[in-house]
């Protein structure tokens, strides 16, 4: 990767013709149209790599970017740090931020990207995508006084919904010119200079693509030399016929002094850009300046499907745990927000917006690409004073002493987010439930209040713990509504807490009032009681299940969905013969797995299929394909009264 350190530029790199910064003494673009425009993009982050190297590495990365504008030629840099880092530097070294603000105001640099924690965007949910962008913008506005106009992250963060999300978060422009650093971002290459990226909802945003003029770290340091090779000149000529080309060079300032690049990376790249300017007429520009001039005229939209992206997104040891726990905590925080708002609107409790904001930020930090890789950079000082400060709010000294890897740091932040979210939710639920009389007209040992915070009437499946009920062998649990009528229910077991199983009851609710509640009652099941029927039916032979809305059937050989029938519309939602779902295929690396087959193919592999549940409320079928070095399994679940079919998939490699 590109390396760098802050330093005082040598006199020979300054303009000899003018004391002002940025005077180009090589070839003036004012004499005519430039051959192409060029933009330098610098990536660094505090969460992960900066945490190992210390916050000073983030300060250095910013200073190196600003120094590039002071050399001749004056190169404009887009700085891509996690938003949290800017706010931390305002406290640790305000002089750096003061200088950065001055250069931003003069148009010598710009902030690009703008996410709060630099996640791999395709691997976190839509809600976290939104929060990363909006909270990132708010944080940068607070720290630097600017709104980020051009979205370009070095790490993977592209998918078909981006135009809508970016416009909604205040971005004007975008670029898909990301780096293949810890995987492959997979954005489709285009033979264009600029295109109008059209999202699924129809939102459009001017965007620069991957087009052959994007130069990446980490290995190649002389890659810009390609520009004056015959192939490079031909590529420039092709793109010039389509308009004004833009070359983007990615660097990573912040690593520290490196002898390979002449001790300091920005001095090395100043020399490289001098060579470029001697060979071509170049206009150095920010991404926003380029798109402001050349992007607004683009009219023809380009719309991508997810299948158009060819992504390869790896996860380190335990990375799957971070992803799964992140989804759980996000659901918890979303629920906490809703019920906190409800309790506040009902004047039953004081709103906890500040604590919610803190909890969300801990979750967004934990979604960092570095934390997801769970890497341990041996030899780096992970006990830098700023690293200790970063952890100070996340746990006890004993807990934080065990945080020695990026992945462990992510889990610690997630733990804080979970704890805060649960506290906020408990307070909100308690404040609402204590105002409801459940004793008068009781129909069971325990009362459960089901509150609908939404704006519309809802049918739902509710899951509640029954640990406080004395359920003995041969007995079960019945659920009654507020009128004493039996409700379809089912006891389920869960081992999500570890080795010990916990019992819960799930039951079907209908017509939950908007922003209102219904009280249900639990009681131990009497032998003479008959459970009410539901619309959920399962087959005695074969792998079929249905309710009033949908009918599901699995292929008896491979376990894939062969039929998903909408009973209301009278149509099959999938073509099970041509495109069954889900299926898994791929070729193993036989150099690492000699006993692996030539190809994995679940479509032509016999599966082990079994019923996990066949209840009144929920039915689940489990499908397992077990191959040498690989296990592919999925669960198909259908609930009573629900129009959706739940499909959970897990792929496990024997490594």
pLDDT tens, 13-63? Answer: 223 333 333 333 333 344 458 999 999 999 999 998 888 888 999 999 999
Q: 323: pLDDT confidence band, cut at 50, 70 and 90?
A: confident
Please report the pLDDT score of residue 287 as a whole number.
98
pLDDT, mean over the chain: 87
Distance, in Å, from the CA atom of 273 to the CA atom of 279, rounded to the nearest integer, reads 10
- On the CB side of 503, CA atoms within 13 Å amount to 11
Over residues 566-575, the mean pLDDT reads 93
Banded model confidence at residue 295, pLDDT cuts 50, 70, 90:
very high
Which pair of structure tokens corresponds to residue 268? 């090395």
pTM: 0.86
Q: How far apart are CA 454 and CA 307, in angstroms?
A: 33
Q: Tokens for 11? A: 């006199």
Q: Using CA atoms, how far apart are residues 384 and 398, in angstroms rounded to an integer?
A: 17
Angle CA 302–284–33, to nearest 5: 80
Residue range 591-641, pLDDT digits in tens: 877 788 889 999 999 999 999 999 999 999 999 999 998 999 999 999 999
Question: Does the structure show a pLDDT above 80 at 384?
Answer: no
pLDDT band of residue 383 (cuts 50, 70, 90) is low
Q: Look at residue 259 and give its three-state secondary structure.
A: helix
Does the pLDDT at position 382 exceed 80? no
* Percent of the chain predicted with pLDDT > 70: 89
Q: How many CA atoms lie within 13 A of 620 on its CB side?
A: 13
CA distance 617 to 303: 41
φ, ψ of residue 605 to 5 degrees: the values are -115, 135
Select the more confidently predicted residue: 126 or 470.
Answer: 126
Better-predicted residue by pLDDT, 475 or 435: 435
Q: What integer pLDDT is reported at residue 181 of this predicted model?
A: 83
**Are 101 and 109 spatial neighbours (Cβ–Cβ below 8 Å)?**
no
Q: Is the pLDDT of residue 569 over 50?
A: yes
- Mean pLDDT across the stretch 240-248? 95
The residue to which tokens 């650093």 are assigned? 181
CA distances from 411 to 404, 453, 481 (A): 11, 30, 40
């Amino acid at each position: 990767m590109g390396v760098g350190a802050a330093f005082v530029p040598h006199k020979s790199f300054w303009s000899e013709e003018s004391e002002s910064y940025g005077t180009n003494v090589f070839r003036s673009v004012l004499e005519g149209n430039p051959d192409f425009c060029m933009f330098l993009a610098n990536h660094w982050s505090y969460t992960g790599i900066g945490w190992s190297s210390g916050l000073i590495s983030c300060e250095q990365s910013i200073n190196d970017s600003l120094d590039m504008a002071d050399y001749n030629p004056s190169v404009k840099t887009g700085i891509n740090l996690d938003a949290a880092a800017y706010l931390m530097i305002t406290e640790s070294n305000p002089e750096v931020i003061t200088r950065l603000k001055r250069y931003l105001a003069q148009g010598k640099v710009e902030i690009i990207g703008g996410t709060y924690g630099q996640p791999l965007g395709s691997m976190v949910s839509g809600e976290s995508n939104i929060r990363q962008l909006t909270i990132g913008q708010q944080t940068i506005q607070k720290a630097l006084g600017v709104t980020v106009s051009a979205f370009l992250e070095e790490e993977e963060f592209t998918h078909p919904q981006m135009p809508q999300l970016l416009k909604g978060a205040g971005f004007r422009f975008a670029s898909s010119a990301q780096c293949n650093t810890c995987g492959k971002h997979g954005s489709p290459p285009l033979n264009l200079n600029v295109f109008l990226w059209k999202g699924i909802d129809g939102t459009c945003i001017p965007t620069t693509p991957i087009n052959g003029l994007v130069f990446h770290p980490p290995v190649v340091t002389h890659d810009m030399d390609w520009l004056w090779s015959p192939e490079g000149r031909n590529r420039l000529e092709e793109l010039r016929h389509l308009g004004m080309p833009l070359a983007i060079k990615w660097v990573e300032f912040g690593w520290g002094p490196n002898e390979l690049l002449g001790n300091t990376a920005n001095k090395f790249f100043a020399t490289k850009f001098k060579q470029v300017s001697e060979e071509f007429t170049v206009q150095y520009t920010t991404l926003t300046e380029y798109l402001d001039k050349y992007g607004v005229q683009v009219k023809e939209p380009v719309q991508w499907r997810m299948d158009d992206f060819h992504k390869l997104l790896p996860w380190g040891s335990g990375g799957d745990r971070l992803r799964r726990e992140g989804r759980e905590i996000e659901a918890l925080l979303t629920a906490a927000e809703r019920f906190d708002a409800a309790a506040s609107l009902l004047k039953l409790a004081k709103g906890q917006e500040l604590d919610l904001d803190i909890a969300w930020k801990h979750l967004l930090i934990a979604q960092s690409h570095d934390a997801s890789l769970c890497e341990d950079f041996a030899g780096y000082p992970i006990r830098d004073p700023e690293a200790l400060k970063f952890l100070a709010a996340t746990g006890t000294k004993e807990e934080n002493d065990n945080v020695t890897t990026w992945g462990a740091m992510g889990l610690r932040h997630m733990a804080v987010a979970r704890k805060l979210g649960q506290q906020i939710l408990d307070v909100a639920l308690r404040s609402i439930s204590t105002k409801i009389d459940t004793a008068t007209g009781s129909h069971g040992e325990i009362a459960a209040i089901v509150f609908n915070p939404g704006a519309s009437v809802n049918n739902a499946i509710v899951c509640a713990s029954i640990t406080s009920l004395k359920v003995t062998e041969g007995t079960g649990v019945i659920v009654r509504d507020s009128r004493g009528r039996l409700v379809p229910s089912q006891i389920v077991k869960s081992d999500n807490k570890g080795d010990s199983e916990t019992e819960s009851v799930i039951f079907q609710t209908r017509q939950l009032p908007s922003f209102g509640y219904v009280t249900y009652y639990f009681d131990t099941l009497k032998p003479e009681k008959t459970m009410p029927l539901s619309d959920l039916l399962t087959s005695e032979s074969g792998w079929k299940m249905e309710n009033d809305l949908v009918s599901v059937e699995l292929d008896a050989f491979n376990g894939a969905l062969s039929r998903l029938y909408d009973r209301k519309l009278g149509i099959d939602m999938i073509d099970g013969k041509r495109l069954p779902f889900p299926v898994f295929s791929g070729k193993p690396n036989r150099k690492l797995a000699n006993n692996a087959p030539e190809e994995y193919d679940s479509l032509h592999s016999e599966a082990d299929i079994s019923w996990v549940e066949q209840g009144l409320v929920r039915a689940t079928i489990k499908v397992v394909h077990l191959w040498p070095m690989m296990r592919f399994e999925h669960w198909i679940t259908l609930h009573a009264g629900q129009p959706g079919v739940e499909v959970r998939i897990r792929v496990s490699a024997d490594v």
